Amino acid sequence: MKYMLLLIAIVNLPAHAAPTDIVSQKSWIHGSENCRSNEDPAIDVLQVDSDTFVLRQNKCINYEAPFIYLMFGEHTLFVQDTGATESSDEFPIYATIKKIAEQWQGNNGVDNLHILVTHSHSHLDHRAGDDQFRNQPNVSLIEANQDAVIDYFGFTQWPNGQAVIDLGNRQLTVMPIPGHQAESLAVYDSRTQWLLRGTHSIQEDSMYESGMNINQVFKSWLILPTSTPSRLLWVLTLR
């Protein structure tokens, strides 16, 4: 029986699992029937590999319970989204990321780490924690609006084109995918082969916007043929 347990432990080691499997096998904090008695941490942290983390906000703090992605390169930490709660007391997203970054820097012998914060889109549950990052050392916060996104990434023919972020021996490709919101962005990481796309998907757009008004549905149909499908096909060619 001892050998059987050992075998199971080895098979389950995260180092042997694909990043996507590690995320799908994770049992996330999912709130409580009575949140007043909930004692789970405000932020659930999953380390996917030595340079990749997925964070999730406790559902008892905000029902949206958004995910936040961290990807380390040799000189830059990429952060997508800042969560659904403004208060650093209730939801210490900057302090949590800073602690992870300091541990990572210690492990990797990196003195100066730049933290780049961008957003999948600008709905409040993806940017409420922004203020915690403002005026912090070594942090660049790209504001969650279309002008700031276009300006920072240098898009000249929005929503066409793509931009590359160099984190240091790790490149991310950023692509406009307007639909869920005008400034929605997808981010492709070739290391994990993840396509971060916030709340956005073609299928969801159809459902989401059909519940809104006809102008938005029409707008979605106008934009999607030149943006999302071609973007997704392009990503498939990278794999």
Residues that bind Zn ion (CB under 5 A): 123, 199
Judged by beta carbon, residue 98 or residue 121, the one nearer Zn ion is: 121
Judged by beta carbon, residue 98 or residue 119, the one nearer Zn ion is: 119
Tokens 């102008």 identify what position?
215
Closest approach, Cβ 118 to Zn ion, in A, equals 15
Judged by beta carbon, residue 51 or residue 209, the one nearer Zn ion is: 209
CA gap 33, 102 in Å, rounded: 35
Judged by beta carbon, residue 59 or residue 123, the one nearer Zn ion is: 123
Judged by beta carbon, residue 32 or residue 199, the one nearer Zn ion is: 199
Closest approach, Cβ 79 to Zn ion, in A, equals 17
Q: Which of 53, 31, 49 is nearest to 40 (CA)?
A: 31
Tokens at 180, concatenated: 């869920």
Judged by beta carbon, residue 170 or residue 180, the one nearer Zn ion is: 180
Q: Is 198 left (phi over 0), alpha (psi -120 to 50) or beta?
A: left
Closest approach, Cβ 121 to Zn ion, in A, equals 5
CB 69 within 8 A of CB 44: no
Closest approach, Cβ 112 to Zn ion, in A, equals 34
Closest approach, Cβ 180 to Zn ion, in A, equals 6
Partners of 144 in the β-ladder:
none
**Between vectors from CA 183 to CA 224 and to CA 216, what angle results, nearest 5°?**
50
Q: Which of 140, 39, 57, 50 is nearest to 96 (CA)?
A: 57
**Between vectors from CA 154 to CA 203 and to CA 147, what angle results, nearest 5°?**
70
Residue of this chain nearest to Zn ion (CB atom): 123
Name the pairing type of β-strands 76-80 and 114-118: parallel
Closest approach, Cβ 200 to Zn ion, in A, equals 8
Q: Which of 111, 77, 112 is nearest to 97 (CA)?
A: 77
Amino acid at 118: T
